[in-house]
């Protein structure tokens, strides 16, 4: 499973939080929103991985 990462970045003197998964990234102004999104994404990716492993066993 790919890792969900949160990074603090600065652009033009402003602080932003960037949530990354592989090559994709989404940027938030609010840290709490970024953390909530990252947590949901992490749970969803875990669920999808579990579903895929379950499907592979049935084949």
pLDDT average, residue stretch 5-28: 97
Give me the pLDDT at residue 32, please: 98
Which contacts (CB < 8 Å, 24+ apart) does range 23-32 have? none
Query: pTM to 2 decimals?
Result: 0.80
> Over the stretch 23-37, which tens digit does the pLDDT of each residue have?
999 999 999 999 999
Q: How far is CA 16 from CA 25, 46, 57, in A?
A: 12, 26, 42
**pLDDT beyond 90 at 55:** no
Q: Higher-confidence residue: 1 or 48? A: 48
Residue spans of the domains in the chain: they are 4-58
**pLDDT beyond 80 at 57:** no
Residue 21 pairs in a beta bridge with 4, 24
């Amino acid at each position: 499973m790919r890792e969900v990462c949160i990074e603090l970045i600065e652009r033009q003197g402003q602080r932003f939080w960037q949530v990354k998964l592989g090559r994709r990234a989404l940027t938030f102004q609010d840290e709490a929103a970024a953390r909530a999104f990252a947590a949901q994404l992490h749970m969803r990716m875990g669920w999808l991985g579990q579903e895929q492993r379950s499907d592979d066993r049935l084949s």
